[in-house]
């Protein structure tokens, strides 16, 4: 059954840049009312249309997540979808990753989506809406140049699976998204040193932020359980499950 997003009230985190900014444009084109959230208020205000709402703030803070839900409900009286897209990377190896950076990354990549989903759950149950969590291919296959980021995205994937099983009885659609390489400024916004050369070279296989956002929106419309984008990521996921040692040996840091 195809779900129209016209007039739906959709919260998008990380709406100022990259994949989130393209999600905003795609949802607006379908007639959704979008709640744009991120720290960069100026950019959000420039992308918002008259039926949209901007709630700027730092998602590391509980108070920002609470404000997003409160202001959305005050304005529209409902929530039809939450897209937990905001996130950041960290190019530290596992043995060198500073604990404060590791904890901060979990706060943004895992605890913010968890908390926002908890706050929005009563409204999503009412609307039989959608909860979308943007994990990563790194949430299926641990990447040695981003191991703590991978761990946070594995955690988000596990959470999404649990949320899907919990909320199915309420008719809420829960979807996990596993993008591969997407051409955004993600690397520039990450902490730690530069990614290794083979990672930078991988950029030639990247999909655009627009393509990634379109795959997410198609997944919402058709209420898919999982989106892997680009689809070429699927064989990698299956291969790494079947032959983990082989895949790990090919990815070892030299």
Ligand X SMILES: NC(=O)c1ccc[n+]([C@@H]2O[C@H](COP(=O)([O-])OP(=O)(O)OC[C@H]3O[C@@H](n4cnc5c(N)ncnc54)[C@H](OP(=O)(O)O)[C@@H]3O)[C@@H](O)[C@H]2O)c1
Q: Is position 174 an interface residue for ligand X (rule: CB under 6 A)?
A: no
- What is the rounded distance in angstroms from the CA atom of residue 189 to the CA atom of residue 200? 14
- What is the rounded distance in angstroms from the CA atom of residue 138 to the CA atom of residue 148? 10
3-state helix, strand, coil in the chain (%, to 5): 55, 15, 30
Q: Is position 159 an interface residue for ligand X (rule: CB under 6 A)?
A: no
Q: Which residue from 70, 94, 128, 185 is in contact with ligand X, where contact means CB under 6 A?
A: 185
E strands in 38-186: 53-54, 81-84, 90-91, 130-134, 173-179, 182-183
Binding-residue pattern over the window 120 to 139 for ligand X, x denoting contact by CB under 6 A:
--------------x-x---
* Per-residue burial over 214-244, b = 16 or more CB atoms within 10 Å of its CB, e = otherwise: bbbbebbeeebebbbbbeebeebbeebeeee
Span near ligand X by CB under 6 A; candidates 73-81, 158-166, 168-176, 184-192: 184-192
Q: Is 76 a catalytic residue?
A: no
Nearer to ligand X among residue 78 and residue 247 (C-beta): 247
Q: Is position 102 an interface residue for ligand X (rule: CB under 6 A)?
A: no
Sign of CA dihedral 137, 143, 149, 151: positive
Q: Is position 141 an interface residue for ligand X (rule: CB under 6 A)?
A: no
Distance in Å, CB of 170 to ligand X, minimum: 25
Nearer to ligand X among residue 87 and residue 129 (C-beta): 87
Distance in Å, CB of 28 to ligand X, minimum: 16
Contact 168, 119 (CB under 8 A): no
Provide the binding-site residues for ligand X, judged by CB under 6 A.
Answer: 14-20, 38-40, 58-60, 85-88, 108, 134, 136, 179, 181-182, 184-186, 189
């Amino acid at each position: 059954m195809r779900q129209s997003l016209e007039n739906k009230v959709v919260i998008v985190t990380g709406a100022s840049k990259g994949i989130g900014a393209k999600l905003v444009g795609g949802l607006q084109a379908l007639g959704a009312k979008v709640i744009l959230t991120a720290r960069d208020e100026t950019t959000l205000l420039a992308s918002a249309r008259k039926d949209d709402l901007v709630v700027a703030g730092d998602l590391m803070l509980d108070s920002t997540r609470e404000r997003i839900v409160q202001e959305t409900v005050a304005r529209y009286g409902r929530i039809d979808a939450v897209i937990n897209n905001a996130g950041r990377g960290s190019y530290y190896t596992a043995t060198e990753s500073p604990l404060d950076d590791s904890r901060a990354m979990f706060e943004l990549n895992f605890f913010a989506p968890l908390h926002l989903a908890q706050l929005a759950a009563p409204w999503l149950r009412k609307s039989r809406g959608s909860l979308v969590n943007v994990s990563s291919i790194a949430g299926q296959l641990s990447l040695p140049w981003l191991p703590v980021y991978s761990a946070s995205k594995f955690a988000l994937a596990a959470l999404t699976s649990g949320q899907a099983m919990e909320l199915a009885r309420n008719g809420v659609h829960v979807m996990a998204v596993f993008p591969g390489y997407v051409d955004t400024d993600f690397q520039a916004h990450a902490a730690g040193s530069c990614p290794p050369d083979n990672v930078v070279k991988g950029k030639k296989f990247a999909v655009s932020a627009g393509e990634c956002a379109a795959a997410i929106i198609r997944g919402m419309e058709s209420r898919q359980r999982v989106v892997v984008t680009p689809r070429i990521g699927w064989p990698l996921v299956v291969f790494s499950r079947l032959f983990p040692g082989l895949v790990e040996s090919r990815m070892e840091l030299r």
